[in-house]
Amino acid sequence: MGHELSQPSHQPVLLNESIHSLAIEPNGSYLDATFGRGGHSKAILEQLGHNGQLFVLDRDPQAIEVARRLAEEDPRVTVLPGTFSCLDDLLGDQVKLNGALFDLGISSPQVDQSERGFSFQQDGPIDMRMDNQHGMSASDWLNRASEEEITWVLSQYGEERFSSEIAKHIVQTRARSPIKTTKQLVEIILAVVPSMAAGKHPATKVFQAIRMHINDELSEIREGLPLVIEKIVTTGRLVVISYHSLEHQLVSDVLKRSPANTDSTSNKPRLKKLGQAVRASRDERLSNRRARSALLRTWEKKS
């Protein structure tokens, strides 16, 4: 089945590797927990038979719009608008999964649209919400949070060396006029962070940290992964693509602490890591910047 998914597009990362890792059963039920623009979903559908099922989740209204168009063309697709942490309610008690894919972080369309405020390379309102219809924008947070809270967020989620200096400058600047644009924030950072370290723009870590805080990204992973693990059947697979050290570490911790793996009194099937973590090929890393830091790991439920 061919699907024309709308622009702006997202080049799916580790596409063949993730589909191979899911070991798709044609009549199985699968979850793409991070639909984005549907690159991975489309590849899953190509391997699924007529009786297969694909649940697709995203919290971004634009992604959901694209997913709904796909579902109109393909009855195997069920669209779930919402977050990882709500997956229990969204999937309901009856659904069992043969596999689930999490391709963490944000999509290229989110970064590339200046009005979403995720990019330090384009000027726009600092919004940074994946679901831009609910919750507090980054601008609201930056203009209200205490200096201590800003310092904490930048150092915890960005591992930013200059977190307290940047937080201080944010608080001084907003006392004169509110911080509303990505350009204003970049200027604050450039005034404090000395120079380009290791080829990275000085705003990289700060933008990552604020985005993670605004979208509560680590809590979402911590709460959502166990809900999905519960729903995976024996021999079913969990595939996770993560993009930075905090995500890599958290995913490992959640899997190690999963009740399926820690309850020694239970006869429940356990999750076993399959093989080594996979990195993108040199060609993919050269053609897609997002793939450079990507790490794909696979677990299987075994009795």
Ligand X SMILES: C[S@@+](CC[C@H](N)C(=O)[O-])C[C@H]1O[C@@H](n2cnc3c(N)ncnc32)[C@H](O)[C@@H]1O
Least Cβ distance, residue 217 to ligand X (angstroms): 6
Cβ of residue 170: shortest distance to ligand X, in angstroms? 25
Least distance (Å) between residue 84 CB and ligand X: 4
Which of 189, 225 has the CB closer to ligand X?
225
Q: In what order do the strands lie in the sheet with 77-81?
A: 77-81, 53-58, 29-32, 97-103, 232-242, 295-302, 270-279
- List Cβ neighbours of 216 (8 Å cut-off, separation of 6 or more): none
Residue 187 or 223 having the CB closest to ligand X: 223
CA distance 228 to 180: 37
**3-class SS of residue 210:** helix
Closer to ligand X at the Cβ: 179 or 228?
228
Which residue number is nearest to ligand X in terms of Cβ? 36
Nearer to ligand X, 66 or 271 (CB): 66
Strand ranges in 92-135 using DSSP code E only, listed in sequence order = 97-103
Question: How many angstroms separate the CA atoms of 261 and 270, rounded?
Answer: 5
**Closest approach of Cβ 132 to ligand X, in Å?**
10
Q: 58 or 300: whose CB is closer to ligand X?
A: 58
- CB-CB contact of 276 with 296 (8 Å): no
Shortest gap between Cβ of 130 and ligand X (angstroms)?
4
- Pick from 129, 110, 145, 87: nearest CA to 36: 110
Question: Between 137 and 164, whose beta carbon lies closer to ligand X?
Answer: 137
- In 3D, which of 61, 22, 247 has the Cα closest to residue 157? 247
Shortest Å distance, C-beta 105 to ligand X = 5
**Which residues contribute to the site for ligand X (CB under 6 A)?**
10, 12, 34, 36-40, 57-60, 63, 83-84, 103, 105-107, 130, 220
Q: How far apart are the first and last CA of the chain?
A: 35
Least separation, in Å, of the C-beta of 239 and ligand X?
11
Choice between 39 and 158, CB closer to ligand X: 39
What's the distance, CA 219 to chain centroid? 12
Q: Whole-angstrom Cα distance, residue 172 to residue 189? A: 13
